[in-house]
Structure 1
Amino acid sequence: MKSCEAIIFTAHFTFALIQCVGSSELKLIFTQVLYRHGERTPLSTYPNDPYKEDAWPNGFKQLTVEGCRQQYELGNFLRRKYSKLLSKSYKSHEIYVRSTNTSRTLASAACNLAGLYRNFQPEPNPIHTVPEEEDFVLLRTGLPCPGYDLAFKKDSRKVFSKIDKANEDFFKFVSKMSGIRDASTKNIGRLVGALEREIRNNFIMPDWIFAVWWDPTMGKYRTVYEMLYDINSVRQLTKFNSKKKARYQSGFLIGTLMKNMKRKVDNFKKESKKMNMYSTHDGTVMSLMYALGIGNDINPPVGSCIMFDLYKNSHTDRFYVEIQFRNDTKERPISLILPK
């Protein structure tokens, strides 16, 4: 934990200094880009769902055509942003691409590269991955971690029980209609994930999804789907919305990002690598942001992207880091300032 704190302090210190240096004096020499995959099909569904896996052309857990388009557009954006850093054509010594070992993230990386390099012709294995059980860098959230499990259990018990108690009749209704046994805050994730994507893809939904129900939290009537969506957002945020929980999930990732920058700083004249690209999940992006103290209580949208840009002062031997975030709707990225 101490090493994690030191890493975060260093990142904040260097970023703060960049505000005091004229942009004309800085040269971008390296960047690390980490993004959430594009739009996907549901991970699974709920018992009474009229739409099963065969309703989706490629089945569950897959990148959609829209998801590929989103990543292609993100690749176009990265090309414009880093046009002076990267060669126009793909060169393996300039860019390293890493993905978690899932179809949707691997496909997202391929679509992104197609946008980044307009005439991209894949070479053998340009996208690197490792088995999930060995991935401690991008670390699929949810893998066993006793320290995290204890912290999450402590936080979620209080938050979830309050929601469940206030919505007892609502959850009984959801259980009856969905077929989920004892529906509650902790077990509606797959239900909401399926509903969200079915609605987005214009599927004809069962009437109960849009039935009106009293929401005790908002103090007004809302649809069942609206209530489920918001409750599930709280469930998802509770996984990461403290530095302690987020650092358990993102400690290796932060350490890797820092080591990559240090390697470039120590060997900037010889080190040819200009970009490291990471194709990941919402939990990876969210836990990283909370670990750095810049979480915004919003689940990162598909195609959202964090960029860590490393600059060198052309007049000195000093290096600086700028962190930016781009969501799925804004062309211009937002600069992020880490808290003291």
Structure 2
Amino acid sequence: MVSFFQILFIICLTRTVITTFHSNENLVAVVQLFRHGHRTPVTFYTNDPYSDKIYWGGLGEGQLTGEGKRQQYRLGQFTRERYGGWLPQKYDKSIFYARTTDVERTHMSALSNLYGLYPATTDDIWHPFSDWHPIPVHTADPKVFNTFPSFSCKSYYIERSNYLARNESLAINEKYTKLYRYISQNSGENVTSLREVHNVYDCLAAEHSIGLPLPKWAKHIYPQPLSDLDALYFDSFSHTVKLQRLGTGTLLFEILKYFDDMTRDPTSSQKFQMFSGHDYNIAGVLNSLGAFNPPRSVPFASSIYFELRKNRNNTYYVNAWFKEQSKLKGIRIKGCEIDCPLDEVKHRLSKILIDVKTLDLECQENSQFISTVAKEFYDAFNEEFNSKSKSDKQKKI
């Protein structure tokens, strides 16, 4: 039986951890990355019973929903609570800077998040019935932070094609042949790879999370094993060091360069920087940090916080945290301790870090396909990007 004093000790210890965890006395700078909030499916599968806009309040494909806005608003409130006292209540452009990919749902997610983080106070209130006020959100450099790497980075897509053509990747498709056939028969899609599985899973996840009853056939495979397969799909974007370097290396380079600058002069930049992005961005960064094993699906409004802190002996270290839903967990960067020295972080990520100028050069390096299967994967990527580009142009006309 647990004694009263043991219970008291546990309570005191828990309180101590929470107090230390929320202490911002030694905090110098923070970078936050998050996935946008809940959205409508980007593409509906053929037999999807919820493909009509009536189920989505008239919203089109890939649009942020009311629930997505609420998720981001709550995330902004969490950030405010976590960094309260360190991050001023009033927005100041010299202290805070927000970036987003050039996609509507990430722009809207950032704005919803900022409402939770910076509700209007005193002289910021401009409307008698609202505490919302506009805060700038900037479009990020696509070579640093983008939905996916541009197809102009040929080396990235050759590397990904080679990874998909390896035996370990092909074995996944062979292992789940029966499952693919089951999904194909019921979804109306021709499912032969993780990509097609993702398209079906994405619909089911978006629909289930807002309470829409899933078809009976889907209940046998959702959330598992579809969730695990979806995680493997996102792992394929950043499974190798080269994919991480060409996919997320510039973002991590910019973050650590920013931290370096802040150690020399804490007034050289804003002390809080925010990036509003996608599941690809979160999964890629986690993989690059060695924190995506085993792979897992990235829920809507998931967030990574990088914190630069200063010790009493004037040395700097980094804390990294991953928040998904109500859970917040520390990240051991490439196996480093939670309080990882800044120089050690740079050392452990050195093979991944890359600046934009070097990225441009490495993207055009001559790379070889390991097999004809790899070349077929690459040609499929090329066809997909050409089709998307043509579709985007038609929408603008």
Whether these two folds match at TM > 0.5 is yes
Report what 1:246 is aligned to: 244
Secondary structure of 2:224's aligned partner:
helix
SS in 2 for 1:140: coil
**Which residue of the other structure, out of 112, 137, 161, is the alignment partner of 1:127?**
137
Judged with a 3 Å threshold, the aligned counterparts in structure 2 of structure 1 residues 161 and 96 are, in CA distance, closer, same or farther, namely same
Equivalent in the alignment of 1:31: 30
- For residues 235 and 25 of structure 1, what CA distance do their matches in structure 2 show? 37
Percent sequence identity is: 29
Instruction: Indicate which of 132, 151, 155 corresponds to 2:159.
Output: 151
**Equivalent in 302, 320, 338 of residue 334 of structure 2:** 338
Cα-to-partner distance string for 1:27-60 (whole Å, 9 max, x where unaligned): 2121111111122211111122232241312222
Q: What is the correspondence of 1:225-264 to structure 2 with a 5 Å cutoff? A: 226-264=224-262
Match in the other structure for 1:68: 69
Find the residue that maps to 2:275 and give its secondary structure. Answer: strand
Residue 200 of structure 1 and its aligned partner are, at CA, apart by: 2.5
CA distance in 2, matches of 1:90, 1:25: 19
Instruction: Tell whether 2:166 aligns with 1:141.
Output: no
Corresponding residue of 1:193: 202
- Residue of structure 2 in register with 1:17 after alignment: none
Give the aligned partner of residue 384 of structure 2.
none
Q: How has the CA–CA distance of structure 1 residues 242 and 93 changed in structure 2, closer, same or farther, with 3 Å as cutoff?
A: same
- Note the residue ranges of structure 2 that are not aligned, 5 or more in a row: 1-21, 121-130, 336-347, 349-397
Q: Is the CA contact (8 Å cut-off) linking 1:97 and 1:276 kept in structure 2?
A: yes
Which residue does the alignment assign to 1:172?
A: 181
Q: Distance in 2 between matches of 1:25 and 1:200?
A: 34
Note the C-alpha offset of 1:312.
Answer: 3.1
Hey, what does 1:40 align to over in structure 2? 39
CA contact (8 A) 2:62 2:105 kept: yes
What is the CA–CA distance in structure 1 between the aligned matches of 2:24 and 2:325, rounded to whole Å? 31
Moved more, 31-40 or 139-148: 139-148
Give the match's secondary structure for 1:188. Answer: helix
Cα-Cα RMSD: 2.6
1:159 to 1:258, Cα distance in 2 relative to 1, 3 A: same
| In 2, Cα distance between equivalents of 1:283 and 1:44 | 17
Give per-residue Cα distances to partners, 1:268-308, cap 9 Å, x unaligned: 2x435110011111111111122222323223322222112
- Report the 3-state secondary structure (helix = DSSP H, G, I; strand = E; otherwise coil) of the residue aligned with 1:325: strand
- 1:81 and 2:94 correspond: no
Alpha carbons of structure 1 residues 167 and 81: separation in structure 2 relative to 1, 3 Å: closer
Partner Cα separation in structure 1 for residue 230 and residue 194 of structure 2: 7
Contact 1:43–1:60 at 8 Å: present in 2 too? yes
Letter in 2 for 1:166: K
Contact 2:234 2:283 in 1 (8 A): no
- TM-score under structure 2 normalisation? 0.68
Do the aligned partners of residues 259 and 337 (structure 1) sit closer, same or farther apart at CA in structure 2, a change above 3 Å counting? Answer: closer
**SS state at 2:285 partner:** helix
Following the alignment from structure 2 to structure 1, what is the Cα–Cα distance between the partners of residues 179 and 245?
Answer: 35
Q: Which of 275, 281, 284 lines up with 2:281 in the alignment? A: 284
The aligned amino acid for 1:281 is: H
Q: Distance in 2 between matches of 1:312 and 1:104?
A: 36
Distance in 1, matches of 2:297 and 2:286, equals 11
SS in structure 1 of the partner of residue 159 of structure 2: helix
Separation in 1 of the partners of 2:198 and 2:138?
29
How many residue pairs get matched? 300
Is the aligned partner of 1:265 residue 2:273? no
Q: Secondary structure at the match of 1:241?
A: coil
Q: Does the aligned pair in 2 maintain the 1:208–1:224 contact within 8 Å?
A: no
Do 1:46 and 1:179's aligned partners in 2 also have CA atoms closer than 8 Å?
yes
Aligned partners of 2:262 and 2:282: how far apart in 1?
A: 23
